[in-house]
Amino acid sequence: MTEVLFYHLQSRTVEDVLPGLLERSVERGWRVIVQSSEDRLEPLDAHLWTYREDSFLPHGTARESNGADQPVLLTASGDNANGASVRFLIDGAPMPEDASAYERIVLLFDGEDPDAVASARERWSTAKALGLDVTYWQPDENGRWQRKA
Protein backbone atom coordinates (compact mmCIF):
# COMPACT_ATOMS: atom_id res chain seq x y z
CA MET A 1 0.00 0.00 0.00
CA THR A 2 1.25 3.47 -0.83
CA GLU A 3 2.33 5.59 2.11
CA VAL A 4 1.68 9.33 1.89
CA LEU A 5 3.78 11.33 4.32
CA PHE A 6 2.85 14.95 5.03
CA TYR A 7 5.79 17.01 6.32
CA HIS A 8 4.70 20.25 7.98
CA LEU A 9 7.59 22.69 7.58
CA GLN A 10 7.95 25.18 10.42
CA SER A 11 10.86 27.63 10.57
CA ARG A 12 12.69 25.56 7.96
CA THR A 13 12.48 25.70 4.19
CA VAL A 14 12.23 23.02 1.56
CA GLU A 15 15.91 23.71 0.81
CA ASP A 16 16.75 22.98 4.45
CA VAL A 17 14.79 19.73 4.67
CA LEU A 18 14.75 18.14 1.21
CA PRO A 19 18.46 17.20 0.85
CA GLY A 20 18.47 15.08 4.01
CA LEU A 21 15.27 13.29 3.05
CA LEU A 22 16.66 12.62 -0.43
CA GLU A 23 19.95 11.33 1.00
CA ARG A 24 18.08 8.82 3.16
CA SER A 25 15.99 7.72 0.18
CA VAL A 26 19.07 7.14 -1.99
CA GLU A 27 20.81 5.27 0.88
CA ARG A 28 17.83 2.89 0.93
CA GLY A 29 18.24 2.27 -2.80
CA TRP A 30 15.06 4.06 -3.77
CA ARG A 31 14.72 5.93 -7.05
CA VAL A 32 13.08 9.30 -6.47
CA ILE A 33 11.15 11.95 -8.39
CA VAL A 34 10.94 15.46 -6.96
CA GLN A 35 8.07 17.36 -8.55
CA SER A 36 8.02 21.13 -8.20
CA SER A 37 7.07 24.22 -10.12
CA GLU A 38 8.97 24.87 -13.37
CA ASP A 39 10.64 28.02 -12.03
CA ARG A 40 12.06 26.15 -9.04
CA LEU A 41 13.87 23.39 -11.00
CA GLU A 42 17.09 25.25 -11.80
CA PRO A 43 17.60 26.80 -8.34
CA LEU A 44 16.79 23.47 -6.66
CA ASP A 45 19.20 21.63 -8.96
CA ALA A 46 21.97 24.11 -8.08
CA HIS A 47 21.18 23.84 -4.36
CA LEU A 48 21.41 20.04 -4.35
CA TRP A 49 24.96 20.27 -5.73
CA THR A 50 26.10 22.78 -3.10
CA TYR A 51 24.00 22.38 0.07
CA ARG A 52 26.93 20.88 1.98
CA GLU A 53 30.63 20.73 1.18
CA ASP A 54 31.04 17.09 2.22
CA SER A 55 28.07 15.71 0.33
CA PHE A 56 27.26 14.29 -3.06
CA LEU A 57 23.65 13.69 -3.99
CA PRO A 58 23.39 12.14 -7.46
CA HIS A 59 20.55 13.81 -9.31
CA GLY A 60 19.50 15.46 -12.53
CA THR A 61 16.59 17.23 -14.14
CA ALA A 62 14.03 16.04 -16.64
CA ARG A 63 15.55 18.53 -19.10
CA GLU A 64 18.71 16.41 -19.38
CA SER A 65 19.04 13.59 -21.89
CA ASN A 66 20.08 11.12 -19.18
CA GLY A 67 17.22 11.98 -16.81
CA ALA A 68 15.84 8.45 -16.87
CA ASP A 69 19.16 7.17 -15.48
CA GLN A 70 19.18 9.48 -12.45
CA PRO A 71 18.46 8.08 -8.97
CA VAL A 72 16.89 11.47 -8.10
CA LEU A 73 15.10 13.31 -10.87
CA LEU A 74 13.76 16.86 -10.60
CA THR A 75 10.73 17.58 -12.77
CA ALA A 76 7.72 19.83 -13.15
CA SER A 77 5.66 17.14 -14.88
CA GLY A 78 3.63 14.28 -13.54
CA ASP A 79 5.50 11.53 -15.40
CA ASN A 80 7.86 8.99 -13.84
CA ALA A 81 10.78 9.06 -16.26
CA ASN A 82 13.28 7.35 -13.94
CA GLY A 83 10.95 4.62 -12.65
CA ALA A 84 10.84 6.10 -9.14
CA SER A 85 9.19 4.31 -6.25
CA VAL A 86 9.17 7.52 -4.16
CA ARG A 87 7.73 10.85 -5.24
CA PHE A 88 8.29 14.14 -3.41
CA LEU A 89 5.75 16.91 -4.00
CA ILE A 90 6.76 20.51 -3.31
CA ASP A 91 5.45 23.93 -4.30
CA GLY A 92 1.89 22.66 -4.45
CA ALA A 93 2.65 19.92 -7.00
CA PRO A 94 -0.51 17.83 -7.42
CA MET A 95 -1.00 14.31 -6.14
CA PRO A 96 -0.13 11.96 -9.03
CA GLU A 97 -3.01 10.26 -10.78
CA ASP A 98 -1.14 6.97 -10.41
CA ALA A 99 -0.49 7.47 -6.67
CA SER A 100 -0.90 3.78 -5.92
CA ALA A 101 2.04 3.00 -8.24
CA TYR A 102 4.47 4.49 -5.68
CA GLU A 103 5.77 2.98 -2.46
CA ARG A 104 5.84 6.39 -0.88
CA ILE A 105 4.68 9.92 -1.66
CA VAL A 106 6.15 12.71 0.44
CA LEU A 107 4.37 16.05 0.50
CA LEU A 108 6.32 18.98 1.96
CA PHE A 109 4.28 22.05 2.82
CA ASP A 110 4.96 25.42 4.40
CA GLY A 111 3.17 25.60 7.73
CA GLU A 112 3.39 29.41 7.67
CA ASP A 113 1.40 29.65 4.41
CA PRO A 114 -2.38 29.34 5.00
CA ASP A 115 -2.98 28.36 1.36
CA ALA A 116 -0.36 25.59 1.56
CA VAL A 117 -1.90 24.30 4.81
CA ALA A 118 -5.40 24.32 3.27
CA SER A 119 -4.11 22.47 0.20
CA ALA A 120 -2.36 19.88 2.39
CA ARG A 121 -5.58 19.29 4.32
CA GLU A 122 -7.47 18.78 1.08
CA ARG A 123 -4.85 16.32 -0.19
CA TRP A 124 -4.94 14.49 3.15
CA SER A 125 -8.68 13.94 2.70
CA THR A 126 -8.21 12.85 -0.90
CA ALA A 127 -5.45 10.38 0.01
CA LYS A 128 -7.55 8.92 2.84
CA ALA A 129 -10.53 8.58 0.48
CA LEU A 130 -8.30 6.66 -1.95
CA GLY A 131 -7.41 4.25 0.84
CA LEU A 132 -3.76 5.31 0.99
CA ASP A 133 -1.80 5.04 4.25
CA VAL A 134 -1.36 8.67 5.39
CA THR A 135 0.86 10.05 8.16
CA TYR A 136 1.53 13.57 9.38
CA TRP A 137 4.99 14.67 10.54
CA GLN A 138 5.92 17.81 12.43
CA PRO A 139 9.29 18.89 13.85
CA ASP A 140 9.81 18.95 17.61
CA GLU A 141 11.62 21.78 19.42
CA ASN A 142 14.97 20.22 18.39
CA GLY A 143 13.98 20.00 14.72
CA ARG A 144 13.56 16.20 14.71
CA TRP A 145 10.54 14.85 12.86
CA GLN A 146 7.79 13.46 15.07
CA ARG A 147 4.81 11.50 13.79
CA LYS A 148 1.67 13.32 14.93
CA ALA A 149 -1.02 11.36 13.08
**pLDDT score for 106:** 98
State the Cα–Cα distance between residues 146 and 149, nearest whole angstrom. Answer: 9
Residue-level length of the chain: 149
pTM over 0.85: yes
Q: Residue 143 belongs to what domain range?
A: 3-147
Number of domains in the chain: 1
Q: Please state the rounded mean pLDDT for residues 112-126.
A: 94
CATH number, domain with residue 41: 3.40.50.10110
**pLDDT score for 143:** 83
Digit-coded pLDDT (tens) for 6-56: 999 998 999 999 999 999 999 999 999 999 999 999 999 999 999 988 888
Digit-coded pLDDT (tens) for 49-104: 999 888 889 999 988 888 889 999 999 999 999 999 999 999 999 999 899 999 99
Pairing status of strand 133-139 against strand 3-9: parallel
